[in-house]
Structure 1
Amino acid sequence: MDTKLTLKLDQEVIEKAKRYASMKKMSLSRLIENYLNSLTSTQPAEELEISPFVKSLSSGVKIPADYDYKKDRADYLDQKYR
């Protein structure tokens, strides 16, 4: 059931939100509803459905939690430009 809600927001924020909603081809009400729903969702992250497209992007390679990509990149560039 939809219920009317009145909010007081900064006019500039409202205008930016309207433009954003327009670019996404949705109403400002729907945009705010989706945002509030995402904030208050009780669904644990591990239960979120991942689309088949996103799953297809996975390489299956596990990256260690302590992986230092900056050092790895610096080493790569050092070797490349020797």
Structure 2
Amino acid sequence: MQAKLTLRLDKRLIDKAKRWAASRQISVSEAVEQFFAQIPDPDAPRQPELSPWIKSLSGLLDEGQPAPSDTQLREEYLDYLEHKHQ
């Protein structure tokens, strides 16, 4: 069910929003609806907190370091096994 919402905004901001929406071939109403749809539901259960280990993994590829090659990964794993079984 759709309902009407009235907003009071600065005219320059409205004009900017209209140009932005037109460049994406949507209406300002659709843009606002899409924005509001992304707001988390305050009544929804919170997502579980990620462990520090998982958090450390999430940024590995974002630090500008190249991903290790298959050869490097294999060598590291073999080193690990050698150390484990000494």
Give the TM-score of the pair, scaled to structure 2.
0.48
- The structure having more radius of gyration, on CA atoms, is 2
What TM-score comes out, normalization by structure 1 length? 0.50
